[in-house]
Amino acid sequence: MYAIREALSGMQRAPFLTLLSSAMVALALFVVGLFSVVTYNLHQALTRIEERVEIVAYLRDGTPLEDAFALEDRLMGLEEVRATRFISKEDALAAARADLPEFHEIFSGLEVNPLPASIEVEIHPEFRNSESVARVAGVLSVYPEVEDVAYGQEWVDRLFLLRRIGAIATAVLGGAFAVVAALIIGTAIRIAIFARREEIHIMRLVGATNGFIRRPFLIEGLLTGFLGGAMAVALTWGAFQGVHRMVFALDWIPTEWVLLGLGSGGLFGLVASGLAVRRHLREV
């Protein structure tokens, strides 16, 4: 109770310093916030492209419908497969007519339907990688009903490579941003506490225990960090809205990310305060 009261009055006594530290925390986390928005949107874009990764098994002409359905059942037994869709020869032709209007005349003059029936296989999100896709394609090609299997191997490989590069870049850059943010927050809070080292000394001189001195500073650090985190969320939201409305449509980051940002602001503040106070506690 004393610690909370003391922390709040400490912030009141030096509002400028509190605001300054919070602003530094906010700017440090704002950079992380912007990076998160960019990363999240790239991730979303890649996911949307990946959702289009599917395997098409073209069936031999004359394959009975029941054999095609039986094949679908067997495919559903594979753990990688999320869904299958049977496309009859007629459906294929109708789709081709609709999708390729420029060839309308060719299609309408046909006496026999040259397009094969096919089964489109959708892969579970967690198996959307080149190895799994190639494995399912390999399994498919073994069945006698299947004449050919297509999944755009080359672009699928590239897509997944891009995803891997993206993940590594996110981890490295994100890690670097987080470290820089932590250092800035640490420095800001250290400066704020340095300005009050006399107070810490005096408290020690009149017989306060280290814990008693530390607690209000920890709470102050936590609150300063939270305040900075909240300001960073507001800044990021503002920047997001600006781009979203004026440049191009973006997705806002998930709530968990926002909470994580606020939480890490608070945590950084808490830890930085603890470390800074500890230094001064050793002095007298």
Partner 1 sequence: MIKLTNVTREYPRRGKALDDVSFHVRKGEFAFLTGHSGSGKSTTMRLIHMAERPTSGEVRVSGFSSQLTSQREIWKLRRRVGYIFQDFQLLPGRTAQENVAFALEVTGTPRNQILPRAGRLLSQVGLAAKTGAIVEELSGGEQQRVATARALVNEPLVLLADEPTGNLDERASRGMMDLFRDLNARGMAILMATHDLELVRAFPETRVLELVEGKLVYDSAGAEGAT
List residues binding partner 1 (CB under 8 A).
2, 13-14, 198-199, 201-210, 212, 281-282, 284
Backbone angles phi, psi at 282, to 5 degrees: -80, -10
Our CB check for partner 1 shows the closer of 6 and 122 to be 6
Max Cα-Cα span within the chain: 102
| Minimum distance from residue 262 beta carbon to partner 1 (Å) | 29
| Minimum distance from residue 279 beta carbon to partner 1 (Å) | 13
Our CB check for partner 1 shows the closer of 163 and 196 to be 196
Of the candidates 134, 139, 168, 167, which has an alpha carbon nearest to the alpha carbon of residue 151? 134
Phi-psi region of 230 (alpha: psi -120 to 50; beta: other; left: phi over 0): alpha
CA distance 225 to 206: 29
| Minimum distance from residue 277 beta carbon to partner 1 (Å) | 14
| Minimum distance from residue 6 beta carbon to partner 1 (Å) | 8
Our CB check for partner 1 shows the closer of 202 and 234 to be 202
| Minimum distance from residue 3 beta carbon to partner 1 (Å) | 10
DSSP bridge pairs for 148: 58
Residue pair 280/197 in contact (Cβ under 8 Å)? The answer is yes
Our CB check for partner 1 shows the closer of 21 and 132 to be 21
Residue pair 59/117 in contact (Cβ under 8 Å)? The answer is yes
CA distance 277 to 243: 41
Q: What angle do CA 19, 24, 30 make, to 5 degrees?
A: 120
| Minimum distance from residue 199 beta carbon to partner 1 (Å) | 6
Of the candidates 7, 2, 38, 49, which has an alpha carbon nearest to the alpha carbon of residue 222? 7
Our CB check for partner 1 shows the closer of 142 and 205 to be 205
Our CB check for partner 1 shows the closer of 116 and 216 to be 216
Torsion angle in degrees (nearest 10) through CA of 127, 131, 132, 138: 160
Our CB check for partner 1 shows the closer of 15 and 144 to be 15
Q: Looking at this protein, which amino acid is placed at residue 23?
A: A
| Minimum distance from residue 273 beta carbon to partner 1 (Å) | 18
